[in-house]
Amino acid sequence: MKHLTVLVPDIQTGPNTLSCIIGAYHIFTEANNYCIRQNKNPVFTIELAGVSGQSNFVNGLLSVMPQKEINSIEKTDLIIIPAILAAFKKVEGGNVLLVDWILEHYKKGAEVASMCTGAYILASTGLLDKKSCSIHWNAAANFKQLFPKVNLKAEKLITDEQGIYTNGGGYSFLNLIIYLVEKYYDRQTAIYCSKVFQIDLDRQTQSDFVIFNGQKTHGDEVVVKAQEYIEKNFTEKISMEELSSKFTVGRRNFDRRFIKATGNTPVEYLQRVKIESAKKELETSRKTINEVMYEVGYADVKAFREVFRKITGLSPLEYKNKYNKTGSAALI
């Protein structure tokens, strides 16, 4: 039987830390029970492990007492890292010991899966350098600054590379668990768990959940002013040549500084601002797709659809049908 370690951090924790721990333990336990009912051997011995005898969550309202101290586990096959606080700057406290322990056991052959902002702990090991990683879209800008060597894929729901798994934000960690159940058990067990826990099977993206807010804490005042100009005038035709001239910066240098500060080119930033405005209109109004398109500054239906799908993973009509409950979506 394989060994599954669900880590219990003792610091930098939040409400979702506990959700991830309980969710992983519950679903993998049910997968084992399903195997037994099918006259098969359970796949995992499941243990919660930490660096202290008790970890407190939600301002001490709830506590978890790990079954094992991490150094007492000589071998494990799969390590689950739960979410931690998104206001992450560097690994602290007992989490430093968790980082060292994860790195040691990965080198021994264990696979590692991080849930949501658990990617901060995983990235602190160095194992994510030059590898793909997903994280909650709201933590993406901070993560990029702290771990520039990681190939961040915030639009992805799940990444899977060289025995390292990551997933997007919130309760999408449930999708990662189902993914791992299929990988370690089989498709039939994954389908069973998805039905019992009512989790969408085979969901691949978190793009349509993203709420775009331009990152302005980067310290480049010229770029902040350019962002504010774009956000105020996005419905108009904006020339990036004229915009860079407006702030007396050469175009190539302007693009370079903009990418460094925001993670987007100026053109991409403008597109995201336009699409975020379009999303809000599609969610709340009875306007047609064409009306919304024109309001946010697009005149070409094909171009609007392509950019909208690239950013959200859905067509404008699919998005409206999914999120607007004021009435049926209007066709173009």
Residue 332: pLDDT band with limits 50, 70, 90: very low
Quick one: what percent of the chain has pLDDT higher than 90? 64
CB 173 within 8 Å of CB 23: yes
The crossing angle, in degrees rounded to 10, of helices 221-233 and 251-262 is 90
Could you tell me if 176 and 74 lie in one domain?
yes
User: Per-residue pLDDT tens for 203-226?
Assistant: 666 665 566 777 777 889 999 999
Residues 173, 20: Cα–Cα separation, whole Å: 7
Could you tell me if 182 and 57 lie in one domain?
yes
CB 131 within 8 Å of CB 161: yes
Residue 288, domain extent: 221-323
Domain count, the chain: 2
What's the pTM?
Answer: 0.68
Query: Residue 87: which of 12, 16, 149 has the closest Cα?
Result: 12
Identify whether 83 is part of a domain: yes
Domain termination residue (choose one: 187, 209, 231): 209
On the CB side of 77, CA atoms within 13 Å amount to 11
User: Per-residue pLDDT tens for 81-118?
Assistant: 999 988 899 988 889 999 999 999 999 999 999 999 99
Could you tell me if 23 and 139 lie in one domain?
yes
- Residue 202's pLDDT is 66
Average pLDDT, rounded, for the chain:
89
CA end-to-end span of the chain: 56
Main-chain phi, psi angles of 154, to 5 degrees:
-65, -20
